[in-house]
Structure 1
Amino acid sequence: MINIDVGLFLAHLIVTDNKIDIKTNNILMDYLKDEGDIRPEEFQQINDVIENNDDARPLDQVLRRLSDESSSEVKEIAMAIGLALCLHKGFLSTTEVAFFKSSRKVLGIEAPRFNLLKAEVKLEFDETAIASLAMEQRRHKLIQQGYILPLKRLIDKYDSDERLTGHSDAMMKNEEYASAISHSREIGKGDMVFARPLLHEHIEELHNLRTAVDQLTSNLKKVRNHDSDATRSLIDASKNLQSQVHGIVQERERDTESFLENIENAADYFTISFLGKTKAGKSTLHAVLSGKGKDAIGVGRQRTTRNNRVYTWQGLRIIDTPGIGAPHGESDEDIAKSVLDESDLICYVLKNDSVQEKEFEFLSLIKKRNKPILILLNVKTNLDSSARRRRFLRDPDDIYEREDEKSIKGHLNRIREYARKHYANDTFEIIPVHLYASLLSQDKTIPESERHALFDGSRLAHFESAIRQSIVSQGHIRKSQTILNGCLNPILDTEKSLNHHLDVFEKISENFDRFHLDSTQKFETMKQKYIRRIRQAIDEEFLKVEEQISHFSHSNYDVSKSLIESRWEDLLEEIGLERRLAASLESIQLEYTGEVQDLLSEMMENMRFAKLLLRQNFSYDSSAMFDFRRMFGYLSAGLGVAAAVALLFSGPVGWGLTAAALVVGGVKFLFKSKKQKIQDAITSLSAELKKVTAKHNQDTKDQVEAVFLEAHDKISNETFAFQRGMMSTLKDNIKILSDSLDSMKVQQDRLNKAYAYRLMTAYAPDEQVEYGLDQSKIDALIDRVERDFGKSITIHARDGMEASRLDHLSNVIQEDVKVRNIQ
């Protein structure tokens, strides 16, 4: 039943968070060897997944094969074994929950069935429940098949066998160490009880923030004028702002939940993370501490894994990272974030043949998380030949004490110089160690006397002593630094992101307020300007007509009305009045459209400016915040001047000349001379044409102006409505963000005061140690706390502290501690 497909599925599960818990890995491998039907050569495929090698079979392939080629029973067995591997620690992590959710869907296991499996696996780890089920002979099907109980026995065995070996085991395994580990663990539990609700409160605040922002858009959709183009544009704009807040809130929720999970995992241990460049010596250090020797290193390989390895012994938890700058590795910042939050101490490993400033740039990331460091300088010399070993053993102190240009002292000076620049201080300890000599000390082919001398000459005992000291005298302080001080990090990260958005929104809001006043004046100025331009253009075109009236009258005073109409129509066509007037007004329309577009584009720059300031990877189309297509639709519809002008030129001659107007003089006409008759006819025709031309000049101006004003008012009103709505929406967003930030300040204040309380009571006698934190006692001692995060903490308290203890605290947390007595 447990074949290679099940094995690959379980391998993907145990590295789903990019960490390899060595104990869990060993349990799985032993279990698959004992209980599985997996060929020896297939174990390399499983190892490829665990080591994240290039040849590793992807999870989606594994799931498809398991889904297509396995029975429903095998799928459930795979899921149940996976749940047992994870649930033995008491809970499922966020990444494990996501893994099971996506996997069960591919495997066709419905949620109710999965939940039943999970409940029954939990029962299998409950001794009382198992005994009860056994007595009643109602044991679960999977127990009857014998898949879970063998795994449980392996887990129990590894739990009882967890220990360091060799020198390290002797170093750590004593009453003082055990007491310190217990003390640190109990402090951690008390700190978690205090901090956990605050982080849940922070996550809830983020959820409420997202809900409040969603409500803004929902409210907009309910406004009365819901068909307004301005309202629709405003809804688009609000959604865009909403997506920005959503993006940061979702990221902060995810990061805060991940942080909480990390420190929950680390609460029971004193955690040291080993960081440094590839081949600096981290794997050698682990091989020595675990007593596994050269077999644990992966000799000749660039590095042993692309995942973080987690080792646990005697209350000590060590995380081995792949290496900064490792090929195909994550970015330095990703590596740091993956281990820093759960670390009580960072051991930064350097080697003496490559102390370069670039290696220390990474320290700035550690300092941002306010983590204490210890630097291990791996002194590398070749000891493989017997002659070189003998020379080393004759005077092992020589490499540490020499004064030449390659001396250790020169490296130490450079390390402190670079650290001051990138870590802000150099109060940490630097320990030179010959790791290869310590590794050889575990080689059973070397005589025992030499092995003891190699270990002593390696000075690994100095490093072990520093670790032991960190745990025995400083562990409880650093545990509070990890939990209480560490819980500030996700809140501060949220505050930084939201403050950035708040600053941007406030700048945009200020710009909109200012731009609204400015654009009101500009739209009024544009209106007056283009009304004048329209009238002037129409006058100019009609003037060309008026200039032809005298000549036309002289040529047509004696023809019939129908012929006058026909010839007048021909004259207008020849002059091209309609065409020229339409072209002139169209040119004005284009100029007006361009000026409006410039004005609206200027408004849109506020949005584009926001995009640049926010620097977030959101799908962000600022043009969607204000629909140019809708706005300029008004222009094309409202300023379709060619069609509007054509309507004015209806009728036989366009202006409806009447027969009465052409019968000039009546009875008196009979008594006039021929010359006078001709002159009167010309004058009468000219006057009528001028009158009609003037009238239709005015009618044309009135009608085109009305069309223009309708379009202009539509655009300006929609623009102003959008601006007012945008200003209101921005102000609503600003208030929501401000209120959330105020709540986060309260969370920060409580954590800072609790952390300050732990620092102030760090030296209390054993009988006075308080593992739980009482808010009333905190408030009674601590008035307020001022932070320059990562650099200094100033505690305003109703009690003082000796200078020597302040100095010690500052060295432990590697941050300047000051106490101001408020009495």
Structure 2
Amino acid sequence: MIPPTLEEVVSNILNQSFHHQGIGATATSRNTLLKVILESAEVPEPESTTAFIFDEISRLKTTSLKKVKILAKQKSTFDVSWCREFEVESQVEPAIRTEPEVETENHSSKRISAEEFQQALEECTRTAKNAYQKTFNYYKEIATILQNLKLDLDKSASYLLKQKDANNFNFAKVLRNIVDEIESHANEGLQELKKYLEVKSQHLADFTVVLFGRTKAGKSTIREALTCGDGSTIGKGSQRTTRDIREYKWKGLRLIDTPGIEAYQGEEDKQKAVEIVHESDIVIFLTSDDSVQPGEFDAMAWLQEIKKYFFVILNIKYDIDKPKRLERFIKNPEKIFESQRLDEHKRHIRTYIRHSLGIEEVAIICIHAYAAFLSNQPQYSDVAKNLWELSRIEEIYSLIASEIYTRGKQRRWNTFFDAIIYFLDLIIKMLEGHQKSLESQAYFMREKRAEIEYIFQESVKNGKIKIQRVCKDSFSKIKQWIPSFVDEYLGKDIAQSEYQKRMDKEKQKIETVMENLFEEIVQELVASLNEFQRQYQYDMGTIKLESTDFGNYQQWQVGKILKWVGVGLGAASAVAFGIGAFAAANFWNPVGWIAGVTSIVVGIFSWFFGDQEKKAWQKAKQEAKESLWKSLDQSEQETCKTYQKLLDTNIAVRAKTEVLEQVDIYIKGLLIIVADLKKAISQLEKIKKQMKQESDSTEPRDRVPNPSNFKVNSSFIADELL
């Protein structure tokens, strides 16, 4: 029989794999280049398809290939939809094993004895106690830094609130709120860290294994099987509250069953998941052979983010409740554990983990959890041994035992250090969120300060024009009755007193008009400041949205950060409120300004009744009229200048200065708080760096008889540290 060519082998493999997707594959080769043409009704997704083909070709261990080129096109067309290339290393080892070896009765590898396992657990306990003490010391350093931050913030706020008129301006309350919120959030983060350490201190002797995965994948069934339960909790996949997190003892281990991934419906539930998973030393990630959901890959990514070691259990959901199906399972288990079908699931999982998470290898164990559970039930006692062995559930314990024996101390050490670093990172990001928010507000307000100055300048400019117009109008009305007054009173003794009466009335009219005018100017200024305030609030809202960068946050940190920093953003941006109200209520009293200069009008006319003017009066009415008009022109100019000077003094100088002084103090206050935050963040970052160095600066130690069976992903801890 002629052996198949490389092209035929590749074509057959890909056609079998892609058949259910409606994709046809044709492979051709020339020299060291293999070309794969994919044809389908709909164009396949390029990245995952390329990754799959890469894995399949890598498994062939061919020495004749150097490059593979993939072309995808739709049926009945000649246009290529996409093209990908990759290099193939000669005599390459399989990038991903189809099945990791584990230490069970079904394998030839050396089993770990009960004595060895117990000794490993005792060593893990000593490691946990040491790690707890070290991380608790770090906790005390963190607490000291946050306490010093509180003292610095209180000191800064106290200094700022002692500034002139601080309590009369809204910024005083805002600054106090900002400080209180930062202190509250820092304390909340510290309390979560303390709570975690307190929980861990109660389980120093417990190596903790957490069952984690989606609802209805079989977590409860596995737990019931491992703990010889009666099945009362099987099928309750909708559990989601704290009391539904179940804890058990199993072969010297602490086993925790968590709600399904879908049950975490809000931030509170997610935080519960975070807390439970952080308690674990090993995570058993459970999925099933019916399908792997996108949410499960997201959960794997999160476990990778928090550096939590996990292996995958692929639970086979074949129904064996009916006697005939049970008999078929016992007689022909290979059909249930069909390698081709299960290998497809495992390749799908490993391809994602490799290309998306950067994990070269992950252990995947296929079991039948329900068969293991039935083996513990009295009515199945006659086939109990067969069911237990055929379920392959013992491989879970064997893999855990081997991991504990090999890297158990490292796992326990990392449980403490990685979790503390996670919580510390959360605190740092919370403080950074406040820092960036306050910085953006300070710099934004500094830019807006020029707009406030412009508002005052425009108010004064327009006010002076209005003063000039009102003065002109008021004196024009006086000039209108001058001729008739001269005609009537020229040469009469009562001219002086009558003129004085009329000037008193005109003075009151001018004063009233000016009071109204200044009130109008102030109201327009207040309206402009209020409009600025509204626009400022809108712009600040935009800045808050644009300045929030979630790129550096871990998947389930975002909600916590928003909860903490979001409140601070709201309070801090409220500084613009009250600028107009402050202007209207505190010290801008136009009536008071005018009351201080009412003698101007009287003084303007008092010179008229001197000797020279009496002669002019007696000499000729016309000369008297012209003289009065001329003096009124001069009085009009002096009156206008006087009122314009009042406007300069009270708005252009005094009011603007007092408002801008408050704005400057507020900007200064924000930047002082920012400096306090930066100082604390720098100190916390230093501690985080020290913790990472202490966690990573270790010597490898491997006790596995066959180290190639297990993935070594993290560093080991030197014996003297453990």
Shared topology, TM-score over 0.5?
yes
Measure the CA separation in 1 of the matches of 2:123 and 2:440.
51
Q: Distance in 2 between matches of 1:172 and 1:581?
A: 100
**Aligned length, in residue pairs:** 587
Partner AA of 2:422 in structure 1: N
Superposed counterparts of 1:62-101, under 5 Å: none
* Counterpart in the other structure of 2:312: 375
Out of 511, 514, 537, the residue aligned to residue 469 of structure 2 is: 537
Give the structure 2 partner of residue 19 of structure 1.
Answer: none
Summarize deviations over 1:666-687 as a string: whole Å, max 9, x none: 8x95xxxxxxx6xx12431442
* Pairing partner for 1:618 from 543, 567, 586: 567
8 A Cα contact 2:149 2:677, kept in partner: yes
1:267 aligns with 204
Alignment of 1:391-410 (within 5 A): 391-401=328-338, 403=340, 407-410=341-344
Deviation, structure 1 residue 551 = 5.2
Equivalents in 2 of 1:333, 1:422: separation in Å?
A: 22
Give yes or no for the alignment of 1:322 onto 2:255.
Answer: no
**Is 1:350 matched with 2:287?**
yes
**Residue of structure 1 in register with 2:21 after alignment:** none
User: Is 1:254 aligned to 2:191, yes or no?
Assistant: yes
- Is residue 2:646 matched to residue 1:706? yes
C-alpha distance in 2, partners of 1:591/1:329?
49
CA–CA distance in structure 1, aligned partners of residues 483 and 432 of structure 2: 77
Q: The residue matched to 2:409 in structure 1 has which SS?
A: helix
- In 2, distance between residues paired with 1:641 and 1:534? 19
How far apart, CA to CA, are the structure 1 residues paired with 2:304 and 2:145? 27
Supply the distance in 1 between the matched residues of 2:161 and 2:240 (Cα, whole angstroms): 57
Q: How does 1:506-517 map to 2 (within 5 A)?
A: 506-515=439-448
CA separation of 1:304 and 1:626: change in aligned 2, threshold 3 A: closer
Looking at structure 2, the residues matched to 209 and 177 of structure 1 have their Cα atoms a distance apart, in angstroms, of 47
Unaligned runs of 5+ in 1: 1-166, 670-676, 767-803, 818-823
Deviates more, 1:496-505 or 1:582-591: 582-591
Pair 1:445-2:379 in alignment: yes
* Residue identity opposite 1:440 in structure 2: L
Partner in structure 1 of residue 689 of structure 2: 749
Q: Which residue of 2 aligns with 1:5?
A: none
TM-score (norm 1): 0.62
Residue in structure 2 matched with residue 481 of structure 1 by the alignment: 414
Q: Which has the higher contact order (CA 8 A, sep 6+)?
A: 2
Give the superposition deviation at 1:694. 3.3
Instruction: State which of 708, 720, 725 in structure 1 corresponds to 2:665.
Output: 725
- The alignment partner of 1:487 has SS state of helix
Is the contact between residue 220 and residue 235 of structure 2 (CA under 8 Å) also seen in structure 1?
no
Question: 2: distance between equivalents of 1:764 and 1:743?
Answer: 38
Contact 2:330–2:386 (Cα < 8 Å) also in 1: yes
1:583 CA displacement: 5.1
Give the 3 Å change call, closer, same or farther, for CA 289–511 of structure 1 in structure 2: same
Q: What is the alpha-carbon distance in structure 2 between the residues aligned to residue 584 and residue 724 of structure 1?
A: 30
Q: Offset at 1:342?
A: 1.2
- Identify which of 174, 178, 190 aligns with 2:118: 178
Distance 1:557-1:320 versus aligned 2 partners, 3 A rule: same
* Partner SS, residue 350 of structure 1: strand
Please name the residue that 1:431 is paired with: 365
CA separation in 1, counterparts of 2:244 and 2:455? 62
- Residue of structure 2 aligned with 1:199, choices 113, 135, 139: 139
Please give the secondary structure, in 1, of the residue aligned with 2:396. helix
Task: State the one-letter code of the partner of 1:177.
Answer: F
Corresponding residue to 2:225 among 281, 288, 294: 288
Identity %: 19
Counterpart position of 1:769: none
State the TM-score, normalizing by the size of structure 2.
Answer: 0.70
Q: Distance in 1 between matches of 2:509 and 2:158?
A: 55
Q: Aligned residue for 1:131? A: none
- Structure 1 808/207 Cα, relative in aligned 2: closer, same or farther at 3 Å? farther
Deviation sequence 1:461-498 (CA, Å, 0-9, x none): 22222112221112112112212233211221122222
**Are 1:631 and 2:582 matched, yes or no?**
yes
Please give the alpha-carbon distance, in whole angstroms, between the structure 2 residues aligned to 1:418 and 1:664. 109
The Cα of 1:289 is off from its aligned counterpart by: 0.8
Q: Is the 8 A contact 1:233 1:624 kept in 2?
A: yes
Does residue 1:734 correspond to 2:674, yes or no?
Answer: yes
Listed as ranges, the matches of 1:761-776 within 5 Å are: 761-763=700-702
Secondary structure, counterpart of 1:291 in structure 2 = coil
Q: 1:485 to 1:733 in 2, by over 3 A?
A: same
CA contact (8 A) 1:321 1:335 kept: no
1:65 equivalent in structure 2: none
Separation in structure 1 between the aligned mates of residue 267 and residue 505 of structure 2, nearest angstrom = 82
SS in 2 for 1:474: helix
SS in 1 for 2:261: coil
Alignment of 1:230-241 (within 5 A): 233-241=170-178
Gap change, CA 1:734 and 1:689, over 3 Å in 2: same
How far apart, CA to CA, are the structure 1 residues paired with 2:596 and 2:151? 54
The equivalent residue for 1:665 is: 615
Deviation of 1:191 after TM superposition, in Å, equals 2.0
Corresponding position of 2:233: 297
Letter in 1 for 2:588: A
Q: CA deviation at 1:396?
A: 0.9
The answer to whether the 8 Å contact 2:368/2:392 transfers is yes
- Deviation of 1:234 after TM superposition, in Å, equals 4.6
How many angstroms apart in 2 are the aligned matches of 1:527 and 1:302?
A: 65
Answer whether contact 1:419 1:425 (CA < 8 A) is retained: yes
Cα 1:267/1:490, change in 2 over 3 Å = same
Cα displacement (A) at 1:543: 5.5
Instruction: Choose 697-706 or 199-208, whichever is displaced more.
Output: 697-706
Q: Does the 8 Å contact 2:350/2:362 carry over to 1?
A: no
Would the aligned equivalents of 1:534 and 1:701 in 2 still touch at CA under 8 Å? no
Q: Distance in 1 between matches of 2:534 and 2:648?
A: 21
User: Structure 1 residues 762 and 729 mapped into 2: Cα distance closer, same or farther (>3 Å)?
Assistant: farther
Change (3 A) 1:642 1:712: closer
